[in-house]
Amino acid sequence: MLDLLVHNATLPDGRTGMSIAVQDGRITDVAPGLDAPAHDKLDADGLLLSPHFVDPHFHMDATLSYGLPRVNASGTLLEGIALWGELKPLLKAEALIERALAYCDWAVAKGLLAIRSHVDTSDPSLLAVDALLEVKKQVAPYLDLQLVAFPQDGVLRTPGGVENLTRALDKGVDVMGGIPHFERTMAEGAASVRMLCELAADRGLRVDMHCDESDDPLSRHIETLAFETQRLGLQGRVNGSHCTSMHSMDNYYVSKLLPLIAESGVSVVANPLINITLQGRHDSYPKRRGMTRVPELMAAGVNVAFGHDCVMDPWYGMGSGDMLEVAHMGLHVAQMTSQQGILQCFEAVTVNAAKVFGLANYGLEKGCDASFVLLQARDPVEAIRLRATRLKVYRLGRLVAETAPLQASLKLDGRPAGTAFMR
C-alpha cells in the first residue's frame, strides 16, 4: 500500500494527467493515470504540481527586524549595512531565534522548504551564528536550512575577521562566504577571494560570496572567483551572489567574462527584489536597474538562480517568503517576458536554486524526495502571474501546510451573485 498517490497533476515540464506515487518519503513512480491502493489520495484536478521552492540567498539573522532600531531612511545598501551595525549590539539570541522561526513558518506555508541563509560572522560573540545553528536544528524536521559564514564587515577589513569566520565554520556553519567588494581596496578584495577559496578547498566546503554588489563597473571580483574556482578544482561548488556590477560593466569585457564564468562552473544568484531597490541609488536619471545580466548568463550556460535576500530587515521593508514574487520581479527586471523566459524564471526559484544549494534527490522523478507543492494554477506561467496559492505543501510525503483556494464572492448590481478567480 502506497503512503500517498497524487493523480491528475500537471507538471512544470508540461506533462498533464500525471500521477505521483509516494512511499517512505520518496517518489516511487511518475506516470499518467496510475491506480494503486494508498493511505492518502490527492486529486490535483489538473493543477500544477511543482517540486518545492528553494531560496538560494537569504539573511535569516536580520529577517523581521524592520524598524529596529530605526528605519533605513536613504534606502541604500550602505545605510542598511550601517543600520545592521547599530542593531547587532542590541541583538538577543532568543528574539533572533523567534523571528527566524516565524519566518520559517511563512516559508513552509509558501512551499519554500530549503533556504540558504548567510549569517554574519563579524561579531566575535558569534551570537547570530549560535542562534541560527539552533534554528537549523529546530526546523530540520520540516525545512532544510543551510548556513553561509558571511563576514559582513569584510573578512580582512575587520580585526579578527578570519578567526571569527573560522570559528563559525568549526561550530558547524556549512558554506564559506565572503564580501570582496567591501574590503578596503580592489587588491584586498581579490586577496580575500583567494584566501577564502583556499580555506574552503582545505575544508571541502562549498563557497557563496556576495560578489560585486555594487554599481561600479570596475568591480570585477567575479573574475577572480571564477579563476580561483578553476585553480582549486572547486567547479560546481561555488556561487557568486548579486554580481550587480556586471549590469554596468563594459560590454566588451562582459563578452570575455561570461565564457570564463561558464567554464569555471560558478553559478550566479541574482536577487531581483533587492537589486532593483538598492542599486542605482546614486544615479539621477536615467537610473540603472542594477540586476546582473540574467538572460545572457543563462545563454552562456551558467546556472542562474533567484534569491529573496531580505524580508523586513534593514535593507528591505517588504517581502513574505514568496519565491513566486521573486520570480515575478526577476522576469520584469530582466525583461524575460517570452514564454521561455518566464519558464526560466520559474526554474530560477526551483531546479536552478536547488543546484546552487547542492540539494540531493530534488525533483519530480522516481527516487526523488516527495517534497512538492500543489499550486492553484495550471502551469508555471500562471503560477508566477498570480503568485498562486499553495493549496498543499508536502515534505517527504507528509502534508506540512495547506491553504484554502483563493476565490472572491461577487455581489454586483444587475448581475447574478458569482465568483471570480483571475485566470
Reference 18, options 39, 52, 48, 51; nearest CA is: 48
Nearer to Fe ion, 11 or 62 (CB): 62
Residues 33-52 contacting Fe ion, CB under 5 A = none
Nearer to Fe ion, 153 or 309 (CB): 309
Using the rule CB under 5 A, give the single segment among 79-87, 303-311, 376-384, 413-421 that binds Fe ion.
303-311
Nearer to Fe ion, 183 or 309 (CB): 309
Find the catalytic residue in 79, 188, 213, 382. 213
For 132, the grid coordinates are 541560527
Smallest distance, Å, CB 115 to Fe ion? 13
Using the rule CB under 5 A, give the single segment among 181-189, 217-225, 289-297, 301-309 that binds Fe ion.
301-309
Smallest distance, Å, CB 69 to Fe ion? 21
Smallest distance, Å, CB 234 to Fe ion? 21
Smallest distance, Å, CB 177 to Fe ion? 9
For 252, the grid coordinates are 566588451
Nearer to Fe ion, 27 or 353 (CB): 353
382 as an active site residue: the answer is no
Nearer to Fe ion, 221 or 395 (CB): 221
Residue nearest to Fe ion (CB): 309
Nearer to Fe ion, 27 or 310 (CB): 310
Using the rule CB under 5 A, give the single segment among 153-161, 169-177, 305-313, 367-375 that binds Fe ion.
305-313
Residues 307-326 contacting Fe ion, CB under 5 A = 309
Distance (Å, rounded) from C-alpha 351 to C-alpha 195? 30
Using the rule CB under 5 A, give the single segment among 26-34, 302-310, 383-391, 411-419 that binds Fe ion.
302-310
Residues 205-234 contacting Fe ion, CB under 5 A = none
Contact 357/365 with Cβ under 8 angstroms?
no
Smallest distance, Å, CB 171 to Fe ion? 21
Smallest distance, Å, CB 118 to Fe ion? 6
Among all residues, which ones are annotated catalytic?
Answer: 213
User: What is the contact surface with Fe ion in residues (CB under 5 A)?
Assistant: 309
